[in-house]
Structures are given as structure tokens and as C-alpha cells.
Amino acid sequence: MNTPSNPHFGLAPSPWIAHFASLVPAGARVLDVACGYGRHALHFAARGAQVVAVDRDAAALATLARSPGIATCLSDLEGEAWPFGDELFDAIVVSHYLHRALLPTLRAALALDGVLLYETFALGNEAYGRPANPAFLLRPGELLEFAVAPPLALTVVAFEQGLTDLSGRPAVMQRLAAVGPARAWPPPLDSARIG
């Protein structure tokens, strides 16, 4: 059911994630972090990926229970140990979620030729609504700095930050599409315009 308390249920994938989905080949193993009701998990599964959708909301994960190509994992990524051990993923997708302590773990879980697609809120968003807590807002350039930091710097395919329209309301966002250092260059891009 699509209710105001479940804002992602039934929504199309983010235009940023959908645009750069072409970086993720069919058959890839994709981790959808803090997936909510699975709008991105469903998108990648429909493209032929094998998706692991992780979230702490059991009710949200239950909506994905019979979705082909999607395995679910109930885990509080902020309060429990990383549930995937040393598993590697061909792609990691994060949308509207930030837990800074998890960033190094995400980097370690990405295959050397993998794809990171990340978008979340940034400082300045507090002027427009939630989230407004600085703990959940990226500092200017923070996502980019994370991506290119040694020892395994990712190659940035696209990065943007600033004020944008998010489903009819202003929001301040940072968005990143990056590939691992072992990825063949150049990666294929979707020629369609974003959003």
C-alpha cells in the first residue's frame, strides 16, 4: 500500500540511479543498502541483476519476499555487525541514507571492478525540510572525497551536488556514480538525459 508513512513504496527509481544503471551488467550481484520498500532493488532485478536488499524495516522487506531476483536481509546496519562478512558485490546502491561509520565497510564490500551508485542529502537541506540533522547531511564534496580516497580510489563517472527538485520539493543533494579501479575503461553510459 502506498501511504505517506511509506514514501518510497510504489515509486519509480531515482532518475540518477536509473540513468547510471547501465554501468551494472545483467547478472551482477547488487547490494541495495537501506533499501526501504525496494524501488531500486526491483529496478535492478528487472534488469537481470541478483539483488540483496538490506534494511532494518521488516515490514518493508516483506513486500519484496516473492520478488524474483531479490534476496532480503533484515539488519540494523547502524547497530549490528555487518551481515555480509567479506562478501563482495558487483554494485552497491545507496539512496537517501547516510551512516558515515559504514562508508569504509561499503568500500571494502565493492568488487575491484564494481559500481557504486550513491545519492543522499547534503548540508543546506535543513533549509528545506528533513533531514536537517548535520549527522545525516554530507559536507560539501564529502561523497566525492570518499570515492577517490586511497588506497583503492574509485574512478568517478559522474558527481553532482547542489539544490535540486526532489519529487516536487527543493532538496540539497550529492550524487555519485563511480567504478572500481579494475573496471575496463571507458564504462558504457546511458545516452538518455537524466531526469
- Count of structural domains, the chain: 1
CATH number at residue 170: 3.40.50.150
Strands 155-166 and 169-179 turn out to be antiparallel
In a domain, 7, yes or no: no
Tell me the pLDDT tens digit for each residue of 56-101.
999 999 999 899 999 999 999 999 999 999 999 999 999 999 999 9
Strands of the sheet with 155-166, listed across from one edge: 70-74, 50-55, 29-33, 89-95, 110-121, 169-179, 155-166
In a domain, 119, yes or no: yes
* HSE, side-chain direction, 13 A CA sphere, residue 31: 27
In a domain, 2, yes or no: no
Q: What pLDDT, on the 0 to 100 scale, is given for residue 103?
A: 95
CB 92, CB 30: distance < 8 Å: yes
Q: What pLDDT, on the 0 to 100 scale, is given for residue 3?
A: 40
In a domain, 95, yes or no: yes
Tell me the pLDDT tens digit for each residue of 164-184.
999 889 999 999 999 999 998
pTM of the complete model: 0.92
In a domain, 110, yes or no: yes
Residue 49 belongs to what domain range? 15-179
In a domain, 63, yes or no: yes
Radius of gyration of the chain (CA): 16
